């Protein structure tokens, strides 16, 4: 029998297995195939944002701000997926699907709790940009060339900056992931406050660290591969991963009542 950890009125199961990741992906693919229009729509929003960053990077070429912005862009994926969680929830419960409730999913149950999580992530992301700019300034001071060009990234100082920034960025990204991986689908599913939802998400991460860390690596890896063919792979990767995260949430978090 699985052990559980209780948070408020919710239990977090601690017996996730790697087979559950495979099952979640299969269920996510099934949801996407059943209602592809929603997945393509939300993926399109994400892809449009990616193209904006790409063209800005190519036109402006200022590495001090655009590189960390591009690196942090995947952090917005969980919020793009909120509508996908609602699609999966409605398919699961047999509720009718329509654009109004799905587009309104970001508001949660009308209490702005999901938006509150978004504000926290936005503030943290702004902190990451400032921190990344500081790292850039330190290593740029060691470079004798023009540190504001993309060519700087290929210099020893630029490569060292990328290494240090990647380590710090990965730590922060893990924090973002731990906060949102279960809290956002829980807020779509239940009418609760965002503090409780975040607490549940952190408890899930603590109780199933190995499996959820592998899931984080899979998400990052699949999104990275999907970026290669002009972001087009995101039209499939993002919806499937979004729907799959919903099913992983349903496998992990249950009501304590």
Q: Specify the pLDDT at position 144.
A: 59
Please tell me the pTM assigned to this model: 0.86
Contacts of 218 (CB under 8 A, 6+ apart): 21
Q: Specify the pLDDT at position 4.
A: 59
Helix (H, G, I), strand (E, B) or coil at 10: strand
The number of folded domains in the chain is 1
Q: Quote the CA–CA distance of 120 and 176 in Å, as a whole number.
A: 10
Q: Quote the CA–CA distance of 178 and 175 in Å, as a whole number.
A: 5
* pLDDT averages per 10-residue partition of the chain, 257 residues: 63 95 98 97 86 72 62 72 96 95 88 88 81 81 64 76 84 90 95 93 96 94 82 91 97 85
List the domain range (segments joined by +) for residue 71: 4-255
Q: Quote the CA–CA distance of 200 and 5 in Å, as a whole number.
A: 9
Q: Specify the pLDDT at position 129.
A: 78
Contact 221, 232 (CB under 8 A): no
Exposure string over 166-180, b if 16+ CB within 10 A, otherwise e: eeebeebbeebbbbb
């Amino acid at each position: 029998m699985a052990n559980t950890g209780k948070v408020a009125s919710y239990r977090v199961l601690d017996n996730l297995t790697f087979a559950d990741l495979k099952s979640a992906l299969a269920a996510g693919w099934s949801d996407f195939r059943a209602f592809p229009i929603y997945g393509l729509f939300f993926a399109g929003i994400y892809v449009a944002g990616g193209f904006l960053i790409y063209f800005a990077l190519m036109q402006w070429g200022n590495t001090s701000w655009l590189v960390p912005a591009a690196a942090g862009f995947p952090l917005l994926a969980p919020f793009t997926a909120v509508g996908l969680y609602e699609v999966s929830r409605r398919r699961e419960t047999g509720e009718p699907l329509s654009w109004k409730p799905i587009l309104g999913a970001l508001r949660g149950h009308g209490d702005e709790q999901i938006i509150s999580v978004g504000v926290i992530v936005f503030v943290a992301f702004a902190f990451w940009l400032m921190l990344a700019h500081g790292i850039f300034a330190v290593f740029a001071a060691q470079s004798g060339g023009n540190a504001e060009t993309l060519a700087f990234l290929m210099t020893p100082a630029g490569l060292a900056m990328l290494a240090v920034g990647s380590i710090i960025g990965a730590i922060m990204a893990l924090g973002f992931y731990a906060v949102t991986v279960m809290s956002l689908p829980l807020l779509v599913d239940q009418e609760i406050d965002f503090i409780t939802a975040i607490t549940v998400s952190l408890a899930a991460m603590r109780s199933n660290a190995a499996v959820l860390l592998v899931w984080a690596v899979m998400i990052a890896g699949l999104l990275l591969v999907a970026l290669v063919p002009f972001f087009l792979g995101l039209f499939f990767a993002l919806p499937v991963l979004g729907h799959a995260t919903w099913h992983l949430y349903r496998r992990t978090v249950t009501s304590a009542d």
